[in-house]
Chain A
Amino acid sequence: MSHRTVSAPTEGGTDIQIQSLAKSFKDFTAVNDLTFEVQPGRITGFLGPNGAGKTTTLRMLLGLVRPSAGHGLIGGQRYAELEEPLRVVGAALEATNFHPGRSGRDHLRVLAATHNIPDRRVDELLQLVGIPAAAKKRAGGYSMGMRQRLGLAAALLGDPQVLILDEPANGLDPEGIRWLRGLLRALASEGKTILISSHLLSEVEQTVDDVVIIANGRLVRQGTIEELHGDSSTLVRCTDPSALVTVLDAQGMTSRVADEQEHGPGAVEAHTGDMTAVGEAAYAGGVVVHELRTLRTDLERLYFELTEDPEMTDRNREQT
């Protein structure tokens, strides 16, 4: 087992609980009996194809959309009950939520005014997200990446414990994505609770600790990214696969000759992550090893398998 050390939830952190949440519109169910938790001090990826119900879920959690059933709680409270919400939760929902005629800085000042947050903090954040000069211009001319940065600055205004970002990587260039990843890591290490949604697992795979995958408004998988990877196994390429299987078996390690189509000729898949033990067993058994590596689950493929159930995709076609 090669699980990354799981940090315990930080003392005093704020968790998010989604409990039996549901939303039905006139002719379809957007979110269906959804339950999951988001832990403090960790980055949780909220994943699902477009139209899976991610945005509706987040909007219900934030009190913008009224649930048909169930509720979302932040630190045990409903969003609407929070006295100064921006100091508890920072949310960036869509990069389009700006008046084209108002400057980015003024957008932040308008929000800051509701919580008595000084202009100094506004300018600090514009500096942090890297658009101090552009923010003085009208938001109508902003690129997608600039809107994302402005949205992030807005979310951080009240220095909240919880950060909820809807598709934050959309429109960012590779450098921007790397920057965002570093920022989120730093914030999580301060004990903040971070929930980011994405329709692409690969986009957030390197960023998140936990994943919640939904499709068709339902939960299909939840766990740490390691759990999603499953127990790792080891691939060994050698001169005599069947001999190696016997040797490993004698050492108490189960294995099988791997599928030639998938892994090429002469490969054995050992059901252990301990490459040292495999290598030593092969040496002791006199089997010549040509290749020895960890075999990980192809997450992208797993993700598609989970979310592209025929039943699941039908609804998306109807929707789009």
Chain B
Amino acid sequence: MMRLIRSELLKYVSTRTAWGLTAGMFLTGIGFAALFGALFVYGDILDGVELSEVAPPLLLARVIYTSAIQFGYLLALVIGVLCIGQEYRHHTVTGTFLATPKRGAVIAAKVVALCLIAVVSGVVHVAGALVGGGAILVSADLPVYPEAADLTRTLLLMLLVLALWTLIGLGVGVLIPNQVAALSLAIAVAWIVEPLVAFGLTFVEWGESASRFFPSQVTAATLDIFTGANDTLTSALGGPSDPLGWATGATVLLAYAVVMALVGLILTRSRDIA
């Protein structure tokens, strides 16, 4: 198994795409954390009241450092999809399955390799967010790293979220071998379909409890940044009103990934590689 994981890691680092995606992780982190940081610190989002006066420093730091995560997890999704999609696209899957005819083992190796890749990419993303968001906090003379233990937990949860989204990407990629189709579908669902459906569901009674299980909602729940914050502040900052607990959230994200990967795996085992 170690050999297969090493092979998968080598596959990832031996193309420029990997470096592009890693750079993307850093740039989205730095760019959006700075942008949203500036908005939260200098923008007028609470009708004349400065956010930094009402929000505890920990909440402010958490909101700013996680503000780029939507872009981060989209990139994580792309990494996951490409991990298998590239193999079909360039027919390297033939060589992969010739070297390892046990296709389940290949997918398992990809899962482990992707977790490692996700953690490295995630650290890069978090570093970017710390630089971008931190710069804004410094400029406003606000605490950059308040309540170290709690803030560190948030940053670690960001890594978890990114890793889970990478696995969701793998699930989508395994399920849909055409990488263009898989990418378009995954992005469309994450960014267009989900918000629309969530909006539609606000009109029905059970809608709210259902939309809690949507990927973006679950992601927000997993990050768990609004615990203890008051409701007005939470809704002003776009936080979920009645989120799942972080562990439940992480489990739901994992379930999405596992279900898709399992269905994909069953299809992959019998799929003809022509």
Interface residues of A (CB under 8 A from B): 56, 59, 62-66, 79-80, 82, 85-86, 91, 93-94, 96-103, 106-107, 109-111, 113-116, 154
B14, A97: Cβ atoms closer than 8 Å: no
Q: Specify the main secondary structure of chain A where it touches its partner.
A: loop
- Cβ < 8 Å to A, chain B residues 241-274: 270, 272-274
Taking CB atoms, residues of chain A closer than 8 Å to B99 are 85-86, 111, 114-115
B52 in contact (CB, < 8 A): no
A202 to B98, CA, bound (A): 30
Taking CB atoms, residues of chain A closer than 8 Å to B3 are 113-116
Taking CB atoms, residues of chain B closer than 8 Å to A79 are 101
B98, A91: Cβ atoms closer than 8 Å: yes
Q: What is the 8 Å Cβ interface bit string for chain B, positions 85-104, against chain A (1 contact, 0 not)?
A: 01000111011011111100
Taking the nearest CB of chain A, how far is it from the CB of B56, in angstroms? 47
Q: Specify the main secondary structure of chain B where it touches its partner.
A: helix
A107 to B91, CA, bound (A): 12
Interface residues of B (CB under 8 A from A): 3-4, 6-7, 10-11, 14-17, 86, 90-92, 94-95, 97-102, 270, 272-274
Q: Which of B15, B16, B95, B272 contacts A97 (CB 8 A)?
A: B95
Q: Which of B7, B86, B98 contacts A64 (CB 8 A)?
A: B98
Whether A111 contacts B97 in the complex (CB less than 8 A), given A65-B272, A99-B15, A101-B15, comes out as no
A115 to B95, CA, bound (A): 13
The interface centre, meaning the residue of A59, A64, A97, A114 with most chain B CB atoms within 10 A of its CB, is: A114
A229 to B74, CA, bound (A): 64
Q: Which of A85, A94, A113 contacts B94 (CB 8 A)?
A: A94
A91 to B98, CA, bound (A): 8
A116 to B270, CA, bound (A): 27
A22 to B4, CA, bound (A): 32
Taking CB atoms, residues of chain B closer than 8 Å to A91 are 98
B97, A114: Cβ atoms closer than 8 Å: no
Taking CB atoms, residues of chain A closer than 8 Å to B102 are 80
A99, B86: Cβ atoms closer than 8 Å: yes
Taking CB atoms, residues of chain B closer than 8 Å to A106 are 10, 14
A107, B95: Cβ atoms closer than 8 Å: yes
- Nearest CB to that of B269 among chain A residues? A66
**11 A–B contacts, CB within 8 A, in A order:** A59-B272, A59-B273, A85-B98, A85-B99, A110-B7, A110-B14, A110-B95, A111-B95, A113-B7, A114-B4, A114-B99
A109 to B99, CA, bound (A): 12
Taking CB atoms, residues of chain B closer than 8 Å to A82 are 101
Taking CB atoms, residues of chain B closer than 8 Å to A98 are 90-92
A65-B273, A66-B272 given; 17 more Cβ-contact pairs under 8 Å: A59-B274, A64-B94, A64-B272, A65-B274, A97-B90, A99-B86, A99-B90, A101-B15, A103-B14, A106-B10, A107-B95, A109-B14, A110-B10, A111-B7, A113-B3, A115-B3, A116-B3
